[in-house]
Amino acid sequence: MNALRIATWNLGRPTESQRVRRERLTLFIRKVNADIWVLTETHSSVSPGSDFQSVVTTTSDRPAEAGEAWTAIWSRFPMSVLGALSDPARAVAARVEPPGRCPIVVYGTVLPWLGGAWREVPAAKGAAYAAALAAQARDWTTLQSDHPDCDFVLAGDMNQDLAESHFYGSRGNRAALVAAFQSSGLTCLTAGADDPVRLGGVRALATIDHLCVSDRLAQQVRWPLVAWPFGPIPTKTLTDHFGTAAGFSAA
């Protein structure tokens, strides 16, 4: 079994006209040197490298320029898209075939933020978040059932902290997200004391871009996880999110 590195980052909608910003984002991504990426609020012009292939969300539920996508999965390994998802505007899934390891089903997503509606569901009292989460959580269990030979990775912008003290989100959304992970048999690697932003010394903030995995991968994690950019706050001229990456051991 070969070692593996998986990362996720919300890029904050870089546009075609923001050449310098896109170049800086690309530089950070390539320095992280992950094998599999889930990039959210991204653009086709931002790539981990020429040796990667991608699958992206096929539609959008908001106005978007050409090349823009809610979510993209990039892999340096062979990959095939998995369709029939509950939320094709915000979520995408793929079966990745890393050499020397079990195949991995990767599910990338963006859940609604506070104040954001989802389809016809309003944001009030967490209704939009609960509706989107319930729909996507059904995908997580279905995909695991349909691909029993695979490990499973859920990654992306969950718009909810899971740190030991509050940063962003709501109590209701947090409880619903934790319950969905538990019912889907997933371990969130970026929750509680393991939040990589807090571990990096940024006490006032926390990650809302999470990495969650099925049992076998959870047992192979190389701790601690890492977060970037390194500093007290994200660099807003880059993106207002921290990225995070996890390494998984070889046999």
**pTM over 0.95, yes/no:** yes
Grade residue 251 by pLDDT with cuts at 50, 70 and 90.
Answer: low
Which residues in the chain belong to E strands, given as ranges?
4-10, 36-43, 53-56, 68-75, 79-82, 92-96, 104-110, 151-157, 187-188, 209-213, 221-228, 243-248
CA distance 157 to 57: 14
**77-135 confidence digits (pLDDT tens):** 999 999 999 999 999 999 999 999 999 999 999 999 999 999 999 999 999 999 999 99
Q: What is the set of domains in the chain, with CATH numbers?
A: 4-248 (3.60.10.10)
pLDDT higher than 80, residue 32: yes
| pLDDT single digits (tens) 34-91 | 999 999 999 999 999 999 999 999 899 999 999 999 999 999 999 999 999 999 999 9
Amino acid identity at 213: V
User: Residue 33: what pLDDT?
Assistant: 95
Which of these, 30, 98, 105, 107, lies nearest to 72 by C-alpha position? 107
